[in-house]
Structure 1
Amino acid sequence: MSEENNVRLYYNPNGDDITISKYNDFLRRKDKDAIADFIYNRLYSRYIKPFEFDDYMYKEMYKNGFSMMASFCLLIETLQSFKYGWGDSNRRSGQLFQDFFKDNSDFGDLKNRGSDIYKHIRCGILHQGESTGGWEISRKDKELLEDKTIDAVRFGKILEKSLLEYKTLLESEAWDSEIWDNFRTKMRRIIANTQE
């Protein structure tokens, strides 16, 4: 077995490595459930789980709405890239945000604010180290959006639901559907990136 096939893509909650070789085995068997579970857990563990640690000291001293929103913005781009089959989102990230919020009715008040979220939250945090345009981030777990204040806790809960819906879609759609073709295209790029 080549060294590339042993690159870990994820380890599941049981501690088992999901390597490129294991993923390719899932593909050969057309095991939609295993692949959907793999991608859900890979994305959940990287972008959402770190902020769900239930410890008083952590919540009071370390948990931060800005780092939460930075992580959540990365997940939005990643998730939309999987849905579209894009190898990367270079120069197209703004469109991904607009489409994401238009397509996810659970985000309600943010439906037509994708470009604002992209510009003032995603780009503000990632490039300036702060939100811009008068936008603020809270962690009160109340309203998702109040004026220009986004609640990171509420946002994360809704985003987790979107991720779970993607997993369910993969499980239910036909193997040769567009959603699966796009998924496989994105995964080919991820695997190629481990070998460059």
Structure 2
Amino acid sequence: MSVELSSSFSSEGWQELKDSQDKTQIITVLRHRYSERYFEPFKKNEMKHGFSMMAVSCLVIESLISLKRGWRKTNGAGRVIFEEFFSTSHHLTDFTGLGADFYEHIRCGILHQAETTGGWRIRRDFSLPIVCADTKVIHATKFLNQLEKEFEEFLSELEEQDFLSPQWARVIKKIDHVVANCG
């Protein structure tokens, strides 16, 4: 049974795409997958909400780390993943050192209790910075926009690497896991 990896590509064609080592097409599939699932819905929807944006942002972070590492899943490494993500990010540098708090109070709060915890709040007032650690406020729109830049930077780095590089091997491994889950 074939499953859509994006609206323009199904799991059925993955082996052929992988065998052809078509970096450009694989990057296009990844871009479509992330754009359709995570980024575009919040650009076109007038009813968007910061809470939902941050829930999706947490999914993007874990998905992107899994893609970069070639992991099947991120079980058990939550705090470490978020600390590493923010410490290596070029677009979310204001969150360096906040990974453990973010993981516990944003990611786990939203995904397990359907609320932020620890006094953290999510806003979309453009007069606010992306994060204010003192008042524990995160600007959801700015955060998701920077996260999209982070993803695009990753794709640009992939584009420059040889298909047989370790980074490409990890990406292929992760997509293989995704396709295997389709079966």
SS in 2 for 1:66: helix
- In structure 2, C-alpha distance between the alignment counterparts of 1:87 and 1:64, rounded to whole Å: 30
Which residues in structure 2 correspond to 1:1-196 (within 5 Å)?
A: 4=1, 6-12=2-8, 18-53=9-44, 58=46, 62-141=47-126, 142-146=128-132, 147=134, 148-195=136-183
Q: Shift in Å at residue 25 of structure 1?
A: 2.1
- In structure 1, C-alpha distance between the alignment counterparts of 2:78 and 2:10, rounded to whole Å: 28
Question: How big is the alpha-carbon RMSD for the aligned residues of Structure 1 and Structure 2?
Answer: 1.3
Matched letter for residue 116 of structure 2 = S
Greater mean deviation of Cα atoms: 118-127 or 88-97: 88-97
- In structure 2, C-alpha distance between the alignment counterparts of 1:77 and 1:127, rounded to whole Å: 15
Q: Shift in Å at residue 140 of structure 1?
A: 1.6
Would the aligned equivalents of 1:47 and 1:71 in 2 still touch at CA under 8 Å? yes
- TM, length-normalised to structure 2: 0.93
Q: How many residues get paired?
A: 180
> Which structure 2 residue ranges, 5 or more long, are not aligned?
none
- In structure 2, C-alpha distance between the alignment counterparts of 1:40 and 1:96, rounded to whole Å: 22
User: What CA deviation, in whole Å up to 9, does each residue of 1:163-187 have, x standing for no partner?
Assistant: 1011111211111111111111111
Higher RCO by CA contacts (8 Å cutoff, separation 6 or greater): 2
Would the aligned equivalents of 2:70 and 2:171 in 1 still touch at CA under 8 Å? yes
Q: Shift in Å at residue 24 of structure 1?
A: 2.2
Q: Shift in Å at residue 23 of structure 1?
A: 2.5
Q: Shift in Å at residue 21 of structure 1?
A: 3.0
Aligned-pair identity (%) = 37
> Which structure 1 residue ranges, 5 or more long, are not aligned?
13-17
User: Which structure 1 residue ranges, 4+ long, deviate > 4 Å from structure 2?
Assistant: none
- TM, length-normalised to structure 1: 0.87
